[in-house]
Structures are given as C-alpha cells and as structure tokens.
Amino acid sequence: MSDNKSIRTALVSVYHKEGLDDILHKLHQEGVEFISTGGTRQFIESLGYPCEKVESLTGYPSVLGGRVKTLHPKIFGGILNRRSLETDQQECQEYDIPAIDLVIVDLYPFQETVSSGAAAEDIIEKIDIGGISLIRAAAKNFNDVVIVASKAQYPALLDILNEQGATTSLEDRRWFAREAFAVSSGYDTAIFNWFDGAEGSALRVAVDHSKALRYGENPHQQAAFFGDFDQLFEQLNGKEISYNNLLDIDAAVSMVNDFDETTFVIVKHNNACGLASRPVLVDAWNAALSADPVSAFGGVFATNVPIDKTTAEEINKLFFEVLIAPDYDFDALEILTQKKNRILLIQKEAAGSKKQFRSLFNGVLVQERDTHTESTQDLRCVTEKETDDLQIEDLLFANKIVKHNKSNAIVLAKNKQLCAAGVGQTSRVDALKQAIDKARSFGMELQGAVMASDAFFPFPDCVEIAQEAGITAVIQPGGSINDKLSIEYCNNHDLAMYTTGYRHFKH
C-alpha cells in the first residue's frame, strides 16, 4: 500500500493570511475543495475560489462570541478518521462525516498580546482553543492528514504542491506533524509561563530556532545553538561561528553593554584580558590591548560605538576570531574584511535573556541574569580614609569587570583601564598574585591603582599584598566574619575600602 496520500479537501482557518494566496491558488488548480470560517472564508472567496462554510457542514453557527466554531464531530471526525480502518470509514459514512486531508491553521497571537501590555481579559481571549485542537488532531493523524500549523511552513507546503501536486508522502506528513507539535508545545509553554508569573513552580522553555554547530567545547562533543542569533546580530564577514565563539561573544557583549562611555573589551575564554574606556575609540583599543597583548591574540573583541578607519587599522595588526560593534564605517570594513575568516558582527540590539540556565545532575539550575551595576549611591566607605571622585570612578569601573570574570577573580584598574585580572583561581590570594605578576610583566603602573574582588576577603592577606603592590583603594562586597581585620589593616596603612554589600558587612 502506497504511503502517498492525495489532498481532496482542505480546512483553512488562519489568523495570519500573508503568503496564503499562492497556496490557495495551487490547491484550487489541483481541484482541492475548501472549508473555512469567518474572515478566512471571505479571503478565499475574494480570490474567486468556492469555499464551504464550517457552519454549513456542522449545522451549527459560530457561538459564544466566536469561541466555538470548529469544535464539532464532523470537523474532528473528518480529520481523525483512519482511512485504512474499516470501522472508522463505516462510521463516517453513517454520520455523513467528510474526510479532511489538509488542515491549514494558526494560533491567536498570545505572546504578542502579552508583550503589548494588554489587559488580562484581552490576553485570556487570545488563548486559542479551536486552533490548538485542530493542530493536535491533524498532527496525531499524520498517516492520512497534512497539518500546516504556522505561516513559517507555507514555503514547504508550496514547494510540495509545485513539485508533487496535491500529493504528500508519509515522510512529508510526519515532518509537518513534528513542526505542528513544536508550535503547540511552544504555545502552551508561553501560556503556562504567563499564568505562573514569577513563581517558578515549574520550568517550561521553548525555543523555535536551532542551529547545528560543527562541534561543542571539544571536537568530540556534538552541539547546537537554540535561539535566534540573527535577531541580535548581523554577520558581515567570516567563517561559521563555533560553540566557543558563542560563549566568548556572550561574555564580550555582556561586559561592554555595562559601560556608557566609549569602551573596548578583549575577551579570551570568557574573561576580560583587556578593557578600557576613553573619549576616542582608538585610544580605548590601544589601552585595552596594552594590558595583555599576548592573551589578546585570537581573542574576541567588542565595543559599544561604530568602528572607524583609524581603529580598524590598529585592530588589523592582530589576529582575532570575532569583532562586535554597533556598526562599521565603510573604509573600516574594507580593511577588516581582507581576512575572509574574521567574524565581523553588528550587534543590533541588547543580547541576553532575563534568566540563565545550567544543566546539573538530572535537572537544571536557573538564576536571574545579573544585570545590576553599582553606582556611587551603592558604595559605602568602611575605612577612615575616603578617596577622591576619580578613584571612585575607577572602583566602579573595576567592579563592572570583576562581576563578569570567573571566580575567584581580582581586577586591578587605573584611569579606567584594566591593568590586569586574576581569574578562575582556587584561592583569592592566588588570583591577586596572578594579577600583580601579569600587570608587572606588561609594564602596568600599579601605584595608585584600585582593586576589585568578586567576593569578600576571608582574611586581610589580600589587602596586605595589594597595598604592598601600590594599590590605594579597594572595592568588595563584604560579609566575612573577619571584615574588621581587613578594615583595621586598611586604616593602619592609609587604604580606602568600599563595599557594595554593606547590609551584610561586619564592622
């Protein structure tokens, strides 16, 4: 028995009609009969094609303000009846249920209505009942029925109609069924998350777009990216973006988006190895690079202002993987596109979801994304010495960087320039020593610099080492039972210490 099935009758009921006319034209040419409701029926008839009203088939009008139109045995029997099962065919004949071979339906725009800030009663009315039921019924009976559940699948259906006529294979119908259940599951996820609000009683995530990657973190690992990368970025040049590229891109844009001034960041393995803010972009680039030109090789670069020719000429001297900017001057692109593998991205809008996810054991860890940056109002001086406004700016600058680097993390900064960072160490002392050694190796002047820590100091050893290296101001969250020892050392050695978590700071 052939798996190919002919389409003789189509039920069409859609909210979005863009692109539907070509499909209707081809179906009509193939002799397919239409059944439809309301506005869709009027649209079909306006194209000159005959269309039977659902109400004529069911014998019932649309009732309850349009809430009930297609929920009827003659509709669902026509979709769900198994053509190869004799008892189903006998019942369809007995109750005069016509076979429906193609269902084209979409759903009320629930997510768009929520995003618009509509009132709760308007949102509730955009919870589709008939459409979602038609989708599930037709997808379940994919052995006999084709389901098109979104305008995103119109091109695929039109290709089949042009190549095969009004005939589909089992493989075709199964593909459409898979896509249909993706639509319905995503729709239900959005509805649940709206009802659940901030309670977080269960984790429901649905992402439509997916892209297979060459490999994961290592060559032997398979990987894919789920999300709409093109919504956030436009790729102007370069090779295919990798798993590790994506991690560094996320780290780079998360950092640079925290800065309002003209800023350049250089990222390697998700950590900042160079970062500076300057009034002129090329100066920001040069200052960022000088902190660690070795690690910058093969890195991911990001800035928050368009790339000009002068800056492009400097960047062009170094091998890099990815460059991200809000735009590029034409002559800058002429320079940067000389190497075909360089990935050049325009960041179109702020990236990042409100939550972060990490798989763990047999579950998932979820936390809010840390989008908070401290201001002068968030700082509290806990030492006898207070510093000046310029060094306060350096403290806030360093604190933005250390927030993004991997713990244990220490950042040393001066004049809105990252002098060095110690990252990913098993002790905070080791992170500080790493930062000091790196700063000295590249000739960075630490006298009068500031230190930022991503967590409290359990002992005063870090402030002792920092003071000996020339650090004169420190910022940290606070919260150790030994905070008073660190404060005492600062008071005895003319250091200023500020905390961002003063509600937990132990005096």
Instruction: Show which residues are catalytic.
Output: 140, 269
The DSSP code for 376 is G
Contact call for residues 51 and 34 (beta carbons, < 8 A): yes
- What is the H or E stretch that residue 503 is in? none
Taking the C-alpha atoms of residue 266 and residue 320, their distance in angstroms, rounded to an integer, is 10
Taking the C-alpha atoms of residue 288 and residue 290, their distance in angstroms, rounded to an integer, is 6
Taking the C-alpha atoms of residue 262 and residue 308, their distance in angstroms, rounded to an integer, is 13
Residue 11 in tokens: 């039920």
Nearest to 456 by CA among 471, 486, 477: 477
Contact call for residues 496 and 489 (beta carbons, < 8 A): no
On the CB side of 451, CA atoms within 13 Å amount to 36
CA distances from 445 to 166, 412, 496 (A): 75, 10, 19
Contact call for residues 215 and 221 (beta carbons, < 8 A): yes
Any idea of the CA torsion for 431, 434, 435, 440, to the nearest 10 degrees? Answer: 160
Nearest to 270 by CA among 227, 321, 329: 321
Helix (H, G, I), strand (E, B) or coil at 66: coil
Residue 33 phi/psi, 5-degree rounding, is: -95, 145
Nearest to 127 by CA among 194, 40, 205: 194
How many Cβ atoms are within 10 Å of 363's Cβ, its own excluded?
A: 9
Q: Cis bond leading into 408, ω under 30°?
A: yes
Please list, residue by residue across 259-298, b when 16 or more beta carbons sit within 10 angstroms of its beta carbon and e when fewer do: beebbbbbbbebbbbbbbbbeebbbbbbbbbbbbeebbee
Nearest to 13 by CA among 34, 40, 42, 48: 40
Contact call for residues 470 and 447 (beta carbons, < 8 A): yes
Residue for token digits 């005959």? 50
